[in-house]
């Protein structure tokens, strides 16, 4: 039987010859926290990248602005999955040809129409890699299906490997403990973020490294969540936030009882405030948060609470 994505990552951990990039070194932001309790909070919604998981730029990137990072990630991916033998011979390096194809498929998804005006299409990395693999199959590309599974399962594993080589991640200090304590206090939790099929596996593994159980089912409620790859739209699509707000209300939680925590100010909190959520901005790390005093004072974006440590949410909700 083919390995699950989690089992595949376990296999990667056993290999000493693989060197993945690390999460950015923490660079604290000088700020004065505002953590006055919000006693009526029943639900905490989390952004994942840059909020629970440290990652450079504070978000998951499909195209890194540093071409060298793209080059290394693509080179490693081509080598890992033995793609070179089935690639068309073109002038230049294999990664350059792969980058051209990759960028084209990313752009195709980016410009695809959405169901509602104002929404932005999410790029599904698994779909991108599935199409690249289909092109390789024209040149007799094959793989070990007993390990990787069919093309969709293989594409999910390739997508994870590529992104892991592009951007390192790790849980912020206190992440596993904080999530567990919120659950113990009876606070419901959900996720609202731009994410991929491998995001939850990344989060589980990061929490386990902090001693957490990594049991997402016990921590996060899917019925209160909204992940971009599932809804096919990304931030700041209005429908992403309104869908999650409707899900919360259908479970008996008014928007004012929901606290949304993120590291992204202008493209997150504005939409969250429009649907009525209470908002908290985490300014934990310069690598993950870009701030300007003007935006922070703008009532359109200004958060209800400002956190300089993830664990401060326990004070805000009285847990």
How far is CA 144 from its chain centroid?
28
Question: pLDDT means per 10 residues in the chain (319 residues)?
Answer: 92 90 89 94 97 95 96 97 86 90 96 90 97 96 95 98 97 94 95 97 92 78 96 96 98 98 91 96 89 83 95 94
pLDDT of 212 reads 75
CA distance 7 to 22: 21
Cis, bond preceding 54 (omega within 30 deg of 0):
no
Pairing of strands 233-234, 120-121: antiparallel
pLDDT of 27 reads 87
DSSP for 161-217?
A: HHHHHH---EEPTTHHHHHHHHHHTT-EEEEEE---TTHHHHHHHHHHHTT----HH
The answer for residues whose C-beta is within 8 angstroms of residue 200's C-beta and 6 or more apart is 216
List Cα–Cα distances, 41 to 185, 223, 304, in angstroms: 11, 17, 13
Kindly list the structural domains of the chain, giving each domain's residue range(s) and its CATH number in brackets, ordered by start.
Answer: 21-59+170-317 (3.40.50.1000), 67-166 (no CATH)
List Cα–Cα distances, 136 to 5, 102, 200, 244, in angstroms: 22, 13, 28, 38
pLDDT of 282 reads 95
CA distance 290 to 64: 17
pLDDT of 92 reads 81
What values do phi and psi take at 181, rounded to 5? -70, -35
Give me the helix-helix angle, 5-13 and 151-166, nearest 10°: 50
């Amino acid at each position: 039987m083919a390995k699950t994505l989690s089992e595949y990552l376990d296999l990667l951990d056993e290999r000493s010859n693989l060197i993945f990039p690390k999460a950015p070194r923490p660079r604290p932001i000088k700020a004065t926290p505002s953590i006055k309790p919000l006693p009526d909070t029943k639900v905490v919604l989390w952004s994942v990248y840059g909020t629970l998981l440290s990652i450079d730029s504070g978000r998951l990137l499909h195209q890194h602005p540093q071409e060298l990072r793209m080059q290394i990630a693509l080179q490693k991916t081509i080598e890992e999955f033995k793609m070179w033998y089935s690639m068309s011979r073109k002038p230049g390096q294999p990664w350059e040809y792969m980058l051209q194809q990759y960028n084209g498929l990313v752009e195709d998804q980016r410009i695809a129409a959405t169901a509602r005006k104002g929404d932005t299409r999410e790029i599904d990395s698994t779909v991108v890699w599935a199409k690249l693999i289909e092109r390789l199959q024209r040149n007799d590309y094959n793989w070990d299906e007993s390990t990787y599974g069919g093309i969709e399962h293989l594409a999910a594993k390739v997508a994870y490997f590529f992104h892991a080589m592009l951007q390192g991640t790790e849980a912020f200090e206190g992440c596993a403990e904080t999530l567990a304590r919120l659950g113990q206090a009876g606070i419901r939790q959900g996720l609202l973020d731009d994410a991929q099929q491998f995001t939850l596996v990344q989060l589980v593994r990061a929490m386990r490294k902090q001693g957490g159980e990594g049991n997402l089912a016990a921590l996060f409620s899917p019925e209160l969540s909204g992940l971009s790859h599932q809804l096919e739209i990304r931030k700041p699509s209005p429908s992403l936030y309104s869908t999650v707000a409707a899900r919360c209300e259908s479970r008996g939680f008014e928007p004012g009882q929901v606290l949304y925590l993120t590291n992204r100010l202008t493209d997150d909190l504005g939409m969250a405030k429009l649907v009525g959520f209470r908002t908290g901005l985490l300014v934990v790390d310069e690598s993950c948060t870009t701030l300007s005093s003007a935006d922070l004072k703008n009532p359109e974006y200004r958060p209800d609470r400002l956190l300089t440590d993830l664990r401060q949410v326990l004070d805000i909700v009285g847990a």
